[in-house]
């Protein structure tokens, strides 16, 4: 995942408190967010190895999570 949080302490606390074990990258300068035209959070993007967006969902976390699960099957 990619966080746009500018406060690394807040991000680290969130990761720890929620038991997140997958990689979380920081985009505090919004470079990736601007590149992929993220208009709000949470946003879920499936991006292939060449950087092309295969799927995009910028909506509530439950709806997006269900769609993402379907894409990964």
- Say if residues 4 and 41 touch (Cβ distance below 8 Å): yes
Question: Given this model, what pLDDT does residue 64 score?
Answer: 62
Give CA–CA dist 46/57, Å, rounded.
9
The residue ranges of the chain whose pLDDT is under 70 are 42-43, 57-65, 67-68, 71, 73
Question: Could you report the per-residue pLDDT of 20-33, keeping only the tens digit for each?
Answer: 888 888 899 999 88
Peptide bond into 42 cis (omega under 30): yes
State the chain's mean pLDDT as an integer.
80
Question: Given this model, what pLDDT does residue 31 score?
Answer: 93
> CA nearest 54: which of 40, 67, 41, 39?
67
Question: Given this model, what pLDDT does residue 62 score?
Answer: 67
Q: Is 22 exposed, middle or buried (0-12, 13-18, 19+ CB in 10 A)?
A: exposed
What global pTM score does this model have? 0.55
């Amino acid at each position: 995942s990619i966080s746009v949080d500018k406060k690394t302490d807040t991000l680290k606390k969130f990761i720890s408190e929620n038991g997140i074990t997958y990689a979380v990258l920081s985009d505090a300068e919004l470079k990736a967010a601007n590149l992929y035209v993220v208009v709000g959070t949470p946003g879920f993007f499936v991006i292939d190895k060449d950087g092309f967006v295969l799927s995009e969902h910028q909506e509530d976390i439950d709806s997006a999570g269900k769609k993402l699960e379907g894409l990964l099957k």
